[in-house]
A and B are shown apart, each in its own frame.
Chain A
Amino acid sequence: MPAQADAILKSLRKMRCMVLVPAGKRRDALCDGLRHSVGSLEATWPGPDSIGPEVDIIIAAVADLPSDSVLYRLERKHHCLIGLVEEDNPTALKGIIDLGVHSFINRPTHPLSLVMALVLGLSISAYENRLRAKVGKLENNLRAAHTVERAARILARTLNIPEDQAYQHLRTKAMDRREPMHELAMQVIKAHAILDDITSGRTQESSSPAKLRIVRGIEGGK
């Protein structure tokens, strides 16, 4: 068996699985099949108001889900989402796309296809999480570069020095204070915004909306 699949299969036994399927024979059959593969199992309908990060896998009856289901509001950072679809239900296609499932289980379910659906779903959701982490880091870097550039421009203007010298000032100060350069840059930008407000006699409420938006944009990105 290929290595990665084997690893995921092993990790399945430690995982917490939540089954969002209306009670009945269909759910019982699914839970019977799952019980051998996953660590712990919880079947519920129509489901809780929120689902915490302790749940690893969510299996949901796609066509039965109410349109305001918690699954449509999930901040999908931890969960692997798997759709349960009926063979003769045409709304299932819309459901699996709208939910953005990582994989799906067809009913009636063959034991091997159940395992395949779980392993595929977990592999894709884990990869998604790694890429999300990478994008997060890259975004932070872009933001930090922008912040440092803005702070250097402010310093250059305020102190009437070349921008390159302003960078060097920022860098030296950051090293002295043992702070990341972009955090110091953020403080410069904030201090400058406050000073600007004071010297122009404005309160924060009366300052221009465009300016507030810029300051907030940077804060929000921290």
Chain B
Amino acid sequence: MEENSVEIQKKRNSGLTVVLIVVNVFLALLYANVTDNSEDQTYINYIWLAGSLTFLLGGFAFTYHGKDYRWGKWLFALSLIVSLGFFALLIMATSLAHAFHN
């Protein structure tokens, strides 16, 4: 009985976490877009989206363990790879711009 209620609490909390991840990603994008958009805004949006999603999924992956929550870890790994890809692109673009500038 005890174990069962712990399991139920975990299920409810994880459900709430999913909702909060969606809400926070939405709010992060809202924050990035409330002022006028410059030309590179789409690019900036992808970075915000990837960054915030990875960060929030990381919390999920490190909090909920067990077979039923493994998908969270997979999603986190996937978003981490995508974010790192973006990050690498960003560094490449800035160093390229820097080289071009010089």
A and B from one complex? no
